[in-house]
Amino acid sequence: MKWFYVYLAAVNLAAFIAYGIDKLKAKAGAWRIPERTLWLFGLGGGAVGALIGMRVFHHKTRKVSFYAVNILSLCLWAGVTAYVLMR
């Protein structure tokens, strides 16, 4: 079960960092992280990190699709986590 927590911590940290990097790149007018990649971080278990990154970096906050994907992912992973904890 330890691997599960390590995975969730790593993917959430990676999502948070990705949102920060993308915001810096957006300000600089440089290469950007594709939106699909940012969505995949949330779908892969990093929804908390993504949502925190959106707030901290004020990035993608006007795009409803990012909130929707990350909130749905958060609900999905909450269910997965509950299942893992009950085993």
- pLDDT, one tens digit per residue, over 30-61 is 999 999 999 999 999 999 999 999 999 999 88
CB 54 within 8 A of CB 61: yes
CA distance 87 to 80: 11
Report the pLDDT averaged over residues 3-28.
96
CA distance 27 to 8: 29
Domain around 72: 2-86
Number of domains making up the chain: 1
Model's pTM, two decimal places? 0.91
